[in-house]
Structure 1
């Protein structure tokens, strides 16, 4: 009986445990960097370049990009991507000293030694998609005016100020205390929209206008998941758990930012 109970608990925890907790066995997923590759380096490079070219073809100086660190069939309803960041058009210095145009990715990653803590990172599309289990990208291109404001925020002290290092994979975008990559992206977007670094004002406006995604996981599974993973917490959820996703951010911008475009890029040989 004890063995059967242990197996049942293992199945439940493996379903609710966020990507970071599965990295040791399944490579990099969720908001972690590094890990095992699910595709050849050539495929990853080819796909990353395709994403860059797609964004560049739209004339975007900044875009919101998302990757799949977990198979779509394993994600809760309403969620298609597991990690989100900003692609910023930049002058990139190569290893041999050449300066080339391209996109740098601004995002946050969980720390390998402690997945309940995140740190801001700046890397490149090939790094960002190295941990993908499916080569599909989500892209949101804001209006030119919002792009201009986003660039100003990303280049300012506000960008670092908005980072909350205490990480939870199901962080509540309406409250303070925990944050995941999509909530951070949303906070930066709202700092740009409302031109403020006042996090209390940002959260008040988020509560008023942003519609979060319900986390369709039973209370028992959430409780068991939090027991086995430091990266799951419901401490910032006064009621039913909700979180920000790439999809809800896209819906939000398409409703309130006239001119926002949403795209998907698929890998093709």
Structure 2
């Protein structure tokens, strides 16, 4: 089974990295028309209380407007109907890994989670949250040296100051109307009016998360894993 094969390949790569925490991305949807490769990212934690290399991530519940935090093994993480059996492993520096691990073991994941899900949530609004946004906001809490991040508003304020830049997705009017009318997990009312009317949707994607972690951690490493390798 391909999910099991990719999970095993990922486990071997994680073991070889010597990391205790990494970011793990998958290609769940074909986002090539937006210039994106990966659709979803979570934290993979070596010493998770439930077992070795458990993925902690936010998931939308079957197309609804709600999300939940999950703790899943690698095989389950890749069990969804993926567009491509490919993974991206992003390993930050050891100090950042330690901070993320401490946060994952605390109540921070819950405090920084909003169950109101929106696939294209605005990067600097707390009305909704997408799965990649949860990862980013926890990353902010791990890196805010001069402040304690206690909620999403504080995390987003820190991200602005730290120079985070969302990805701008161009979404035509008819697509926006169709998404809002027919999909419970897509909304645009949290975006600035002028940007929304211009079809410029500023959201958090895997690419923007990876780009930001590369900005704040020059020693970060990235490994792409594919079944054909």
TM over 0.5: yes
Distance 1:191 1:116, change over 3 A: same
CA distance in 1, matches of 2:151, 2:183: 31
CA distance in 1, matches of 2:121, 2:16: 34
**Is 1:89 paired with 2:46?**
yes
The unaligned stretches of length 5 or more in structure 1 are 1-41, 94-100
Deviation at 1:63, TM superposition (A): 0.7
Distance 1:219 1:205, change over 3 A: farther
**Pairing partner for 1:60 from 6, 19, 42:** 19
The answer to whether the 8 Å contact 2:112/2:151 transfers is no
The answer to whether the 8 Å contact 2:116/2:127 transfers is yes
Distance 1:75 1:228, change over 3 A: farther
RMSD: 1.7
Number of residues paired by the alignment?
A: 218
Q: Which has the larger radius of gyration?
A: 1
**Is 1:216 paired with 2:170?**
yes
CA distance in 1, matches of 2:182, 2:114: 22
Deviation at 1:224, TM superposition (A): 1.7
Deviation at 1:52, TM superposition (A): 1.5
Distance 1:135 1:144, change over 3 A: same
Deviation at 1:196, TM superposition (A): 2.0
Runs of 4+ in 1 over 3 A off after TM superposition: none
Q: Name the residue aligned to 1:207.
A: 160
The unaligned stretches of length 5 or more in structure 2 are none
Deviates more, 1:182-191 or 1:201-210: 201-210
Deviates more, 1:174-183 or 1:240-249: 240-249
Q: Name the residue aligned to 2:56.
A: 106
